[in-house]
Structure 1
Amino acid sequence: MTKLSVNINKIATLRNSRGGNVPNLLQVATDVQKFGAQGVTIHPRPDERHIRYKDAYDLKPIVHTEYNIEGNPIKKFIDLVLEIKPTQVTLVPDGNDVLTSNAGWNTLKNKSFLTEVIAEFKRNNIRTSIFVDPIEAMVEGAKATNADRIELYTESFAHQYSLGNRKGIEPFILAAKKANELDLGINAGHDLSLDNIKFFKENIPNLLEVSIGHALISESLYLGLENVVNMYLQKLN
């Protein structure tokens, strides 16, 4: 079964819009795990527009499943991860001015930097994953950095699927096959939803984990959080 890690950034966005502590981020993290999710993901950014750095610390004793912290490995982020020691760190090359993650790493051009950062995390027994586009050369580059996993950036698949184009999955299949050949674990995320997750999972060999936030929280407005978490788990089984 592919694991479901719930990204709770959008809960923090809603909380921050009014100040105070409603909705309660820690309670939501507790609940999604109680409902069956096998992990919790956060993506703190330097401007703390959703997840705050303090949230990352506060969540540490709450997350008893897999704790995945995503982000751009600037010094502040690296220090945060090394102090918290989550289950997994996912490296994402997003700048301060981006609304949301919009590209994977060029693992060839950034090989030296990524290798150095990953070595530090692995010395601290933190599993490492690199956010990549579905390009075989980028997967090979990720392997060369000594990463444990890749996270496939799935926006292009989701867009093509919404247009009725099922062939949009093809680059992801090729990238996944390459990762399997190289003994790299495979995660995926970005714009995966109840509409497309089953098709994606059925076509990606050895998909270990998906991280889903925006769609899952949006769907929960209509269907309820517990119900939606279980709907994802059924489709991933």
Structure 2
Amino acid sequence: MTRQIVLDTETTGLSAEGGDRIIEIGCVELVARKLTGNNRHYYLNPERDSHEDALKVHGISNEFLKDKPKFVAVADELLAYLAGAEIIIHNAPFDVGFLNKELELLGRDRFASYVGGIVDTLVMAKEMYPGKRNSLDALCDRLGVDNSGRKLHGALLDAELLADVYINLTRGQDPLLVLEEESQNASGQAVVAAVDLRSLKLPVIRASAQEAQSHDQILAELDKASGGKTIWRSFENAPETVS
């Protein structure tokens, strides 16, 4: 089964190359697109103060971090936890840049060498909602994810929210399965049988004239928002096939 880790960081500022450091890491595990509860959360002593603007974002005081472990103390545990997993991050270059810098300071390989891949949900969202706001808060609002508890940025809370956002963004990728009634096995545990709908012959229902007109209006809006870069128009004259 696919193991994914939704990851977020908080930092002392915006520039890893300029000396800013990670102060918080939050990780949320998904297995087969389900939350497992096997999460990780670290506060870290960055050995420097946060910038005032960063403090306004995350609210984590310099005093609070003074007795927290340094990155070197958690690096092995963190990398073992992340090993081989697909990592899901919103605006991945930012977080990965900071993780790379922390690993570089320890003489370690770059972050990508330890994991199975990196998915950037900001890139996904921009492709799905061109021309729209695609911050984490905006996606929560658009996808019906409750972010009412997010007064300040926090790595674990943001990772939990992003996990819900990611599941909603990729819901159409779920296998076409329908669950039958539960039964019980010999141990009394619930067993749910799944039926694969891909073997069924489904009827083709044509769009009405009104639906086709609404569809054309949506395509026109996408064309405008993307500066004419959508690929939809290239399929309009393609031969129609029904299998």
Taking structure 2 as the reference length, the TM-score comes to 0.28
* Structure with bigger RCO (C-alpha 8 Å, 6+ apart): 1
